[in-house]
A = this chain, B = another copy of it.
Amino acid sequence: MGKQLDLLRAKYLPLIEQEIRKFFKEKISTQKDEVVVKYYEELSSYILRGGKRLRPLALISSYYGFKSRQEGNIVKASISVELLHNSSLIHDDIMDESLKRRGGPSFHYQMEDWSRLSQNTPPPRNAGISIGILGGDSLIELGLEALLESGFPKNSLIKAAFEYLTAYRKLIEGQLLDLYLSTVTMPTEEEVIRMLSLKTGTLFSASLVMGGILAGAPRKALVFLKNFGQRVGVAFQLQDDILGLYGDEEVIGKPADSDVKEGKRTLLIVKTWQLADEVNKKKLLFILGNKNIGADELNYVRNIVKELGVLDYTKETALNLLRENERDIEANKNLFERNFVEFLRELNEIVVARSF
């Protein structure tokens, strides 16, 4: 990994974890109902179970990217985006009926168990989902509370809150689009890119922008941060799709055929389908989402994506985004502290290095 990112992690990861713990402790301390106390404990233990905290780290690094910083508790402000991220994970897992997350149960599944253990009578069949909905709701408002309690100038807090809300809006719209696209035979390239950009670019981008807002950064810097974050997010996801089809099982941590078996409509698949002839289109549709395929079918997909030039096309699309970022860093580097410019370059390079 990059040097700046390592330094940032070493210094701030423990502070972020500590702040999350402290924040929940404070909120719990005013509670009278035992059930409510336990609920918040489950919620905080879910968040503290893991996660790379990339978004709070991005927010903090961006804040320290400016010489003329405004005063406030930046670590407290930074946990807002982590809580928002977890909120959307919790609600998405209900919608996708996912039972696992970060090496443990998804939150609604965790709470299903919890309600079974903590009550005398059997809980209603949707108990887990119900508490899961509430859990995601709580994290949205707690994230905003953390931000608004961070002590920065009011003007910046309102701007940062807007950024938070807009990011949340885009996450919701991205998830809606995702749900919709999963019912379509084959989405268009434009639809896939839009969905990616809403779901994966948005919050990372907003974290960088929020750090800048709280530092009191000029408008030009905020525009740069927004675009940079969006591009790096989309490039990362395109990368992820490539690894999901060609990656080493041990490295990516899931079976190499799981994307194909899930029938995921990645850019790779959408573009291949567009270029394929009728025979191959039929074959692709038969394979995608089919749980019973073997190595032959997986290799068929791997080959056709390569043969039609779509692997190269996708790599090129991601690389173009990262190259644009390089140019943009070069053109704007005078706006930031040197360490932060290094950090941005590292982020960009990490994504490049991941697979090409």
Interface residues of chain A, those whose CB is within 8 Å of chain B, are 31-33, 35-36, 39, 91, 94-95, 97, 115, 119-121, 123-124, 126-127, 129-131, 133-134, 136-138, 140-142, 144-145, 148, 154-155, 157-158, 161-162, 165, 168-169, 172-173, 175-177, 179-180, 182-185, 191, 194
Contacts and interface: CB of A to CB of B under 8 A. Distances in A.
* A-B CB proximity, top 4 nearest: A95-B130, A154-B154, A35-B180, A119-B183
A133 B133 contact: yes
A123 to B, nearest CB: 6
A137 B155 CA distance: 25
Main secondary structure of the interface of A (DSSP, over half): helix
Question: In the assembly, how many copies of this chain are there?
Answer: 2
A152 to B, nearest CB: 11
A39 B169 CA distance: 13
Nearest to A142: B169
B172 A134 contact: yes
B95 A176 contact: no
B155 A141 contact: no
Contacts of A175: 134
A141 B127 contact: no
A157 B165 CA distance: 15
28 contacts: A33-B177, A35-B177, A91-B133, A91-B134, A94-B133, A95-B129, A95-B130, A95-B133, A115-B183, A119-B184, A120-B183, A120-B185, A123-B183, A124-B182, A124-B183, A131-B179, A134-B176, A136-B137, A137-B140, A137-B168, A137-B172, A140-B141, A144-B165, A145-B162, A145-B165, A148-B162, A148-B165, A154-B154
Nearest to A96: B130
A39 to B, nearest CB: 6
A94 B129 CA distance: 9
A169 B141 contact: yes
A27 B91 CA distance: 23
A144 B161 contact: yes
A177 B31 CA distance: 12
Given A95-B129, A140-B141, 17 more contacts: A31-B173, A33-B194, A35-B176, A39-B176, A91-B133, A94-B129, A95-B134, A115-B183, A121-B184, A123-B183, A130-B179, A131-B176, A134-B172, A134-B176, A137-B172, A141-B165, A141-B172
Contacts of A133: 91, 94-95, 133, 136
Contacts of A95: 126, 129-130, 133-134
A119 B183 CA distance: 7
Nearest to A32: B194
A179 B119 CA distance: 11
A158 B154 contact: yes
Contacts of A148: 158, 161-162, 165
